[in-house]
Structure 1
Amino acid sequence: MNEAATAAVGDARAGNALTLWATVLGSSVAMIDMTVINVALPAIAKGLGADAAGVQWTVNAFMLPLSALVLIGGALADAAGRKRIFIIGLALFTLSSVACAVSPTLGWLIAARVGQGIGASLLSPASLAILGADFDGEARAKAIGTWAAASAVAVAAGPIAGGWLVDAFGWRWVFALIVPPAVVASVLAGIGIKGGRDPDAPTPDWAGGALAIIGLGLLVWGLTQATSGGEHGSAYIMGGLVAAAIFLWWERRLGDRAMVPLALFGTARFSALTLLTFLLYAALTGVLLLLPYLLISSGWLATAAGMALLPLPVIMAAGSRLAGGLSERVGAHRMLAAGPAIAGAGFALMWTIPDQRIYFVTHVLPAMTLVGIGMTMAVAPLTTAVMAAVDHHHAGAASGFNSATARIGGMVAVSLLGLVLTGGGHGVSIAAFHAAALMAGGVSVVAGVAGWFSAPRAAV
């Protein structure tokens, strides 16, 4: 190989390394933001005088645009340029994080959280699209593996780092934490990512995205009002259902050009998997928000409350590969039935957590271990089952929709937290927490039943 060719190979490898680290850092900051908020909510509620509805919207203001627009973000990356959309999304996310850190009022914070959600809906799908376009063969598999591993580390480290920052410096630093790695990711992206777009990519379904935001927004607003003592909750819920009906009509009209092609639901398997995803992640999100709230209200430091969640990502990181292989041997539907049921047992076990003198080893660790084992058994087979439930033309849409469904389930769960929060959103009723834990356990068991029916039909 001559010197010019050797230099070209070296430049390509350096460019690929910069691309990988740009996408890893960019997507990781979004993952961190989704987890650190769990331990910062009590301090935010106290610092900004938030009531129960304000607490709920601090979370859902981020989740709403992310859930509704993530599919448009992927289509826009293909149509307008993956590098461009990634950098725009990262810039919006970073500026919104700064706005969160300096928020003088709750309304300011909620508006900035909306900006974070929109930014995340652009940068998250664009980061995977970049890895798929800029890497080939084995290098692509390794890059995506590194991206997934970094996401797992971000999920594990987020609550601990966030809790320490809350204890040491205050809740505003939870958002400031995100800014330095986001700036580094922007610089690396500008230097290393090749860019590129798909000239045959369809036009993003803007009308579908707008209808999704309106429908989900009204539904979440109505549920939040209804559970936190507000007015006109039922009217907002009805408006959300009307918008959802219009959304379905529009998506059916667009056919395969839709943001959510309704052909996905042509099989009972995909519908069962969608129900499983919605219920399981609703249960998980609700409990993972309430548990740190309860622990901090009982006198735990935010750092310790964040560490109490650590068994979940550790078990999932250690066992996901094994769960994927086991799923191939025993059948994904068996794993998707057993996993949610075991996670449900973990949720229900939280009923034993006392009102005072809560100990990690005796009261929290057993329940979190069961939840971790159950989620590990479910998550890896779920991804495989979703892809197998549809034809290859809809594989990308199915994967994206399943991811959005998980977030929507979590968002609906958060909108119901007004039933559990007390003291104007500053605490958690132990009796209501126990009821929520038992309900999460029951919901997870129903998710497991749906998982059993996700098996392919036997040939006749």
Structure 2
Amino acid sequence: MPVTAYQRKVLIVAILASFIAFLDGTVINVALPAISRELGGGLAGQQWVVDAYLITLTAVILLAGSLSDAYGRRRVIFWGLIGFGGASILCAISPTDEFLIISRGLQGLAGALLVPSSLAIIISNFDGPKRAKAIGQWTAWTSTAFLAGPLLGGVLVDYASWRFVFAINVIPIAVTLWLLRGVYAEPPRPVKPKIDYRGAVLGVFGIGLPVFALIEQGRLGWGNPIVWGAMVVGVAAFAAFIVNERRVKQPMLPLSLFTVRNFWVGNLATTFIYAALSLGGFLLTLFLQQVAGYSATEAGLASLPSTIISISLSTLFGTLAGKYGSRLFMAIGPVIGAVGYVMLSQVTPSANYLTQVFPGTVVFALGLTITVAPLTAAVLGAIDPERAGIASAVNNAVSRVAGLIATAAAALIVGDALTTEGFARGAIVTAVLLTLGGVVSAIGIQNAKRPVKV
């Protein structure tokens, strides 16, 4: 049965909503030097302009997913867009570095409303093979944010002002709000939703504080009481959050989700795969600049094949996963990606792009593209659409925290200073993590399972 005009409109809204949030996570990096020159703040200020967005987005994403399930995807996306637009304007007019950092934190809060709801609205309006294909299209188009971000940011900074990096968000937000008018609001739920406020607070601190510690340890070190204190309090808050969710009648995160096989197996695979993605990408970018002598632009362009392959093939593999099931693609995709990093582990200090970097990058990108859309389809397709918001939020939180842990562990893997030998070790560890993700998927993922109501 073909996709209807209404389903196409829903898919476009979902893609645009996610694109806006993902774009701001990548566009900011090229603007940091210009921001520092005008507003000051030094290196610490530059880091916090990036980290404020990441911390608030990750900390609030479970609450945002719960709100999406309770009050409807359309409503949450609407307020996420309004909030993101307002925060973007505040960023654009920031008179000081501190004002910009606070505004970036507000952007992260609004972004948390957009990401899980955009996937949840796809799950709610598509089913079967059409759902897998739609997720593939969502993956393909949102991947353009990683390509468009640095290029768009560079043009705006060079030919206008860094402030336009934020102000330009108003245009896609306005378009998405206009399209959202044609998306039906979900019918009221038979049982009036209640917000688990205690769980919400514990969840925000239980995720946000460890994320803060993982980010700041790179600057302050684990011996700093701010860092280890945040980690201790955060872990305690997360443990209290789990206890709370087991006891309340309408939990923010129903723990019964983790009794669904494809959901917990898929999230375990996500942990390995996204840890590898973050570790490998982080080390490769540093190696190309610090050891091989690439410029920042050249190092950024080195990842261009990955983005192009993702844009070109994600829809195809999403469609194939809908037809044949996700298991095969989740099993072989990470292993192909691992081969790519084994190839990259052989680079020499000169790192000739065409002969040493490009082949491994292409093989890795192919493996990742085979994996991502089927992985998302398997995890979210296993859960009843009524819980798609919180299920998407969990998967997003798992991927982000796994990436942060892997990046924080990079120094333990490569040593105090990145060398060719250290990068080779890191590349092999990346390959091992990817392989583990494939093995977990091959053993645990089940095809053709109906969504489970929990």
Alignment of 1:246 onto 2:240: yes
Question: Distance between the aligned counterparts of 1:279 and 1:46, measured in 2?
Answer: 39
Deviation for aligned residue 1:350: 3.6
Alignment of 1:442 onto 2:432: yes
TM value normalised by structure 1: 0.76
Pair 295,165 (structure 1): closer, same or farther in 2 beyond 3 Å: farther
Could you report, residue by residue, the CA deviation over 1:257-292 in whole angstroms, capped at 9, with x for unpaired residues?
A: 323221122256543322210221122134435544
Alignment of 1:367 onto 2:360: yes
Deviation for aligned residue 1:311: 1.7
1:237 counterpart residue number: 231
Pair 139,338 (structure 1): closer, same or farther in 2 beyond 3 Å: closer
Structure 2 SS opposite 1:264: helix
Q: Identity over the aligned pairs, expressed in percent?
A: 37
Deviation for aligned residue 1:382: 1.5
Question: Distance between the aligned counterparts of 1:170 and 1:429, measured in 2?
Answer: 34
Question: Distance between the aligned counterparts of 1:146 and 1:187, measured in 2?
Answer: 21
1:5 counterpart residue number: none
TM value normalised by structure 2: 0.77
Q: 2:278 aligns with which of 277, 285, 289?
A: 285
Alignment of 1:452 onto 2:442: yes
Pair 444,145 (structure 1): closer, same or farther in 2 beyond 3 Å: closer
Could you report, residue by residue, the CA deviation over 1:122-142 in whole angstroms, capped at 9, with x for unpaired residues?
A: 233444566677899999999
Could you report, residue by residue, the CA deviation over 1:291-339 in whole angstroms, capped at 9, with x for unpaired residues?
A: 4455566665555444322222322233334435665788744433332
2:103 counterpart residue number: 112
Question: Distance between the aligned counterparts of 1:188 and 1:394, measured in 2?
Answer: 24
Pair 237,74 (structure 1): closer, same or farther in 2 beyond 3 Å: closer
Q: 1:318 aligns with which of 301, 305, 312?
A: 312
Alignment of 1:405 onto 2:395: no
Alignment of 1:337 onto 2:331: yes
Amino acid at match of 2:395: N
Question: Distance between the aligned counterparts of 1:269 and 1:77, measured in 2?
Answer: 22
Alignment of 1:309 onto 2:299: no
Q: Which shifted more, 95-104 or 16-25?
A: 16-25
Deviation for aligned residue 1:253: 1.5
Could you report, residue by residue, the CA deviation over 1:86-134 in whole angstroms, capped at 9, with x for unpaired residues?
A: 3321122123223334545554443222211111122334445666778
Deviation for aligned residue 1:453: 2.8
Could you report, residue by residue, the CA deviation over 1:224-243 in whole angstroms, capped at 9, with x for unpaired residues?
A: 34333341233332222111
Question: Distance between the aligned counterparts of 1:388 and 1:86, measured in 2?
Answer: 21
2:141 counterpart residue number: 150
Alignment of 1:95 onto 2:89: no
Alignment of 1:272 onto 2:262: no
Q: For residues 25-424 of structure 1, what are the structure 2 equivalents within 5 Å?
A: 25-37=16-28, 39=30, 48=40, 50-51=42-43, 57-77=48-68, 79-80=70-71, 82-103=73-94, 106-127=97-118, 149-166=140-157, 168=159, 171-189=162-180, 192-195=182-185, 198-200=188-190, 202-230=193-221, 231-232=224-225, 233-254=227-248, 257-266=250-259, 270-289=263-282, 291-292=284-285, 295=288, 300=294, 302-324=296-318, 332-355=326-349, 358-387=351-380, 397-415=390-408
Alpha carbon RMSD of aligned pairs, Å?
4.3
Pair 271,17 (structure 1): closer, same or farther in 2 beyond 3 Å: closer
Amino acid at match of 1:181: P
Deviation for aligned residue 1:447: 2.4
Q: Is the Cα–Cα contact under 8 Å of residues 60 and 414 in structure 1 kept in the other structure?
A: no
2:452 counterpart residue number: none
Question: Distance between the aligned counterparts of 2:428 and 2:132, measured in 1?
Answer: 40
Unaligned runs of 5+ in 1: 1-11
Unaligned runs of 5+ in 2: 448-454
Q: Which shifted more, 436-445 or 330-339?
A: 330-339
